[in-house]
Structure 1
């Protein structure tokens, strides 16, 4: 039996074990601000990796989920392979009580079941299967971030991803897979911006003429920001949160909005910030002032020649093994694939289990794709040597 068939058989023989781990880690809630939960998930994945023979280390962050790094050595001098993901989810703690891990009609449900705990389970068992089949052509490195959903706002995880990835041959990010069989070769960047207005407080009944309404000032600017969207350039602005005031009986002296910007090219970001600052500079109500703060973000995942070559390899592996013909997909959602590409590593994204409705109570994953995607990863890694 050759290595691929042996590794595929390992996956088939461990289906129930894979499902059990999937259930276990979904039940360990790791919402966007739940450091203890994220680190507990990391500890469980570390145990799986060490059982497979990996050497593991943790990059600790005081205000964010830690990063887990696992390495399975190979004597070969060939550049290694990266398997990439994140352990945090977009679903706050408490959801598991309402929506426990459930399999129904071939679909798995639960917080983070798709984004992206299923994908991590798939690649962990791809690693175990490759090892069981005697694969030793290249070293394998696992990079699992603990704060991707909050854009690494309180950690140096992005820098760590770049430095850890440098020099590798390929990276497979097992982010949310698509039911249409798209494999992601490019992603927009994300910038999160705050615009804050200071006004003058006053009694709304006795002294309104001496107030300067920060909410009204900001309302004009929120509409103007939304209007900055340029579909032709692939740049979109979304005013997603507005806060301000204390009571309806007072003229509000403060208000703020939080803006999500999606952009295609790294060089677009300075222009994006400049356009928001232009909006902020215009005053509608005398006596108010406005400031703009770039809070955090993710870089764009560039579609490089190396990315496309790796996609073609994955697409060929998929067709050869009966998993269908994938197509190259470009999406607006960001991911840590940006940083492996920045490090010069050809990367494909959305290699995880397929499903839909992630970041919502209806999030689901197609169960059989847990095994299919483990096998596609195995086939793709082995095809690097073809």
Structure 2
């Protein structure tokens, strides 16, 4: 087995330039949160790579979201298969590539989505190619790539697809952003996005203020109420991140709205979270105003199950045995699709992608050497699963 592993590692070493070339190619494709055509172009490029490895495919298309790519190599194995998963869209709006093209400086790669998470997907694809190069066929390998994760699947049913496709598999590796301190994510908070709107009564601020009902003033009270819902003991945090309202300073505003971000640990907490926000909405400070609360979208929490813990130990051993460092189990506040494979009963580890920092910002970077290291790590993990 060690000899086979070294041959697979050598495959990665022999294809480093090719990996970087593919990385650059897909980063250069527009994959912003609303760039359906560009995301589908990325999907087509990844499909071509997998097609060369004999994968069977299904592409699920959505009217207003990037496609979801499902590929599978090998079937009818006695051992449960493994999943490599991720998302092809980025959080960076269109046009950023022209301003910040893919570049490498001092061992770091820069560009929109270079870290989150096109580099991780490239690493996974070359782990598959390396495994195929040594004739690996102990388990089927399924690739699940979403096209709209950065907008929390607002325009698709990707969460249901993840859960359905993952059923019966033995392990899942999410190629999300890797951490420079070697943290491997075993738990994530869920995310809920909620809109609160207030309608008031417009009036001239100088001549007729007594007949106005300020939507902004009503909202000001409710922003404080929403923020005060935070429950640190239960790991639930509320954040009013956007406020909009009014048209001119000379008028009593008749409309205001806020967008609320909620992070929570337990999937079953969401109904109570919604009730608390609705209670805030139902409380009236300024008579004559009316409030509406709307759940927009979200991602469920990734639970740290016993299976997740056991898979982390596999990753940890593979990490240490191959000189990649000493990883530790990490729980974070950001959501990911790992939640859905865990809900499907599949042990899952997250943040297995290239290492770097500053994702979702103009300074986003990835450590180039980690592209090759993570491909090898995946190879080592899959081979180690066969020995436990």
- Relative to the length of structure 2, the TM-score reads 0.98
Q: Determine the structure 1 residue equivalent to 2:91.
A: 90
* CA displacement, residues 155-203 of structure 1 (integer Å, 9 cap, x when unaligned): 1111011000100000000100000100000000001011110101112
**8 Å CA contact 1:3, 1:135 repeated in 2:** no
Q: Determine the structure 1 residue equivalent to 2:242.
A: 241
Deviation at 1:275, TM superposition (A): 1.2
Q: Determine the structure 2 residue equivalent to 1:73.
A: 74
**8 Å CA contact 1:197, 1:291 repeated in 2:** yes
Q: 1:74 and 1:5, CA in 2 relative to 1: closer, same or farther beyond 3 A? A: farther
* CA displacement, residues 124-175 of structure 1 (integer Å, 9 cap, x when unaligned): 0000110011100000000000000100111111101100010000000010
**8 Å CA contact 1:32, 1:149 repeated in 2:** yes
Q: Determine the structure 1 residue equivalent to 2:153.
A: 152
- Equivalents in 2 of 1:372, 1:13: separation in Å? 13
Deviation at 1:229, TM superposition (A): 1.2
Which ranges in structure 1 are unaligned for 5 or more consecutive residues? none
- Equivalents in 2 of 1:208, 1:129: separation in Å? 72
Instruction: Establish whether residue 364 from structure 1 lines up as the match of residue 365 from structure 2.
Output: yes
Which ranges in structure 2 are unaligned for 5 or more consecutive residues? none
Instruction: Establish whether residue 223 from structure 1 lines up as the match of residue 224 from structure 2.
Output: yes
Greater Cα shift, 242-251 or 135-144 = 242-251
Q: Secondary structure at the match of 2:295?
A: strand
Written as runs of structure 1 = structure 2, the 5 A alignment for 1:199-278 is: 199-278=200-279
Deviation at 1:97, TM superposition (A): 1.0
**8 Å CA contact 1:221, 1:279 repeated in 2:** yes
Instruction: Establish whether residue 346 from structure 1 lines up as the match of residue 347 from structure 2.
Output: yes
Q: Determine the structure 2 residue equivalent to 1:316.
A: 317
Instruction: Establish whether residue 164 from structure 1 lines up as the match of residue 175 from structure 2.
Output: no
Greater Cα shift, 320-329 or 238-247 = 238-247
- Equivalents in 1 of 2:193, 2:314: separation in Å? 35
Q: Secondary structure at the match of 2:123?
A: helix
Deviation at 1:223, TM superposition (A): 1.5
Q: Determine the structure 1 residue equivalent to 2:178.
A: 177
Q: Determine the structure 2 residue equivalent to 1:294.
A: 295
Deviation at 1:75, TM superposition (A): 4.9
Q: Determine the structure 2 residue equivalent to 1:105.
A: 106
**8 Å CA contact 1:74, 1:136 repeated in 2:** no
Deviation at 1:267, TM superposition (A): 1.5
Q: Secondary structure at the match of 2:86?
A: strand
Across the aligned residues of Structure 1 and Structure 2, the Cα RMSD in angstroms comes to 0.9
**8 Å CA contact 1:3, 1:134 repeated in 2:** no
Deviation at 1:274, TM superposition (A): 1.3
**8 Å CA contact 1:189, 1:263 repeated in 2:** yes
* CA displacement, residues 66-104 of structure 1 (integer Å, 9 cap, x when unaligned): 100011014522211100000000000100111110100
* CA displacement, residues 313-351 of structure 1 (integer Å, 9 cap, x when unaligned): 010000000001110000000000000000000000000
**8 Å CA contact 1:100, 1:110 repeated in 2:** yes
Greater Cα shift, 269-278 or 372-381 = 269-278
Q: Determine the structure 1 residue equivalent to 2:126.
A: 125
- Equivalents in 2 of 1:268, 1:157: separation in Å? 22
Q: Secondary structure at the match of 1:233?
A: coil
- Equivalents in 1 of 2:40, 2:207: separation in Å? 54
- Relative to the length of structure 1, the TM-score reads 0.99
Q: Determine the structure 2 residue equivalent to 1:20.
A: 21
Greater Cα shift, 49-58 or 176-185 = 49-58
- Equivalents in 2 of 1:348, 1:127: separation in Å? 17
- Equivalents in 1 of 2:78, 2:60: separation in Å? 26
- Equivalents in 2 of 1:350, 1:304: separation in Å? 17
Deviation at 1:247, TM superposition (A): 2.0
Q: Secondary structure at the match of 1:17?
A: helix
Q: Determine the structure 2 residue equivalent to 1:383.
A: 384
- Equivalents in 2 of 1:147, 1:85: separation in Å? 10
Runs of 4+ in 1 over 3 A off after TM superposition: none
Q: Determine the structure 1 residue equivalent to 2:11.
A: 10
* CA displacement, residues 42-66 of structure 1 (integer Å, 9 cap, x when unaligned): 1111111111211111011101111
- Equivalents in 1 of 2:185, 2:293: separation in Å? 33
Instruction: Establish whether residue 114 from structure 1 lines up as the match of residue 118 from structure 2.
Output: no
Q: Determine the structure 2 residue equivalent to 1:30.
A: 31
- Equivalents in 2 of 1:343, 1:74: separation in Å? 19
